[in-house]
A and B are shown apart, each in its own frame.
Chain A
């Protein structure tokens, strides 16, 4: 019987070798290893062999033949699958450079970008972010900041007034805030010291727009109120901010100036690595009258405040030639950043 088995095995091996696809191969498997395959038929005949010795020998041959065929199937299957994968991969070729795009992501306004960068630096220095309304009362914008009615410094703000009349109040006492400083008052009135906040926001002046001025622009205000705060803390904080925001090669200086709501008052300038100076903003020790307006005792609490323009940070960083360009909302400008 063994020659029959060998013949069936060889036929199967030959068919396996001839299979060109995995599907062909599966058909070959069904034909040769299936229930009606030659090997199966021969296996059924094993029982009819009377001689136990011969039966055992035939059984061993049968087993060997099946094993050989199955191994051949596996080998061929893996060969064919690999070839098929290769064919598929070859057929699926893509030129990825055909699919490049400009990116469809939108663009944040550069003032927002500057605003968030400033916030991030001050968050790192331990400050939180305070907010306040853009339409303000005369009291918050001027009076509480040590600029009572008729104070000469009020004239420098070119205030825009709003025709809102508070109940029981009068016209001319509601305005568009001229600076973010009213947030100092609102923060002191609502928050227990220690206060470490910055207040970025939109501010308004009756300024005719030109290359460096807009009637609507943005400032960031800083306020610290705590026990034992001194001018050295102000100078150190300004210096820390300068290095954190502009870079390690930058340094700062304070020089005397005047603001009604701080005393001593200072301008702070930034020195660039090339030695040139940039006037950045105003600062000072919070005036005792302002601390009192904030509902606190100036003998217990002292503090400092500072403020400067956000728009200018954006203008400087991106080399914007005309500040008005930032407010045209021309998508060809917006998309650049």
Chain B
């Protein structure tokens, strides 16, 4: 199958690959996986004052579309608040990368990774406020 130019760009030059230190402050992790293709995706966000996402990193083991979707998402979430990040929809990711129908699940995985990371951030945040 032919990948779009944008998928190839993200696949060959993935942005923000890696992990933050476990002890880094404000770091939240979203871990998701799709049984259909066996892909695993980890998205980490580093959240600063006012709930603004200052940095993001990802690690994805999967096809080119899954890698491109998560790479793109790390760029998109930066500068957004955690709540604004939740507005990113898989359809926007799929459109930006021109994903074919069989690869739409990769964009869904990336959207779910954002949700999971934000949920992890809010969980920790509530815990801190309560503690």
Please say whether chains A and B are actual partners in one complex. no
**Residues in chain A within 8 A of chain B (CB atoms):** none
**Residues in chain B within 8 A of chain A (CB atoms):** none
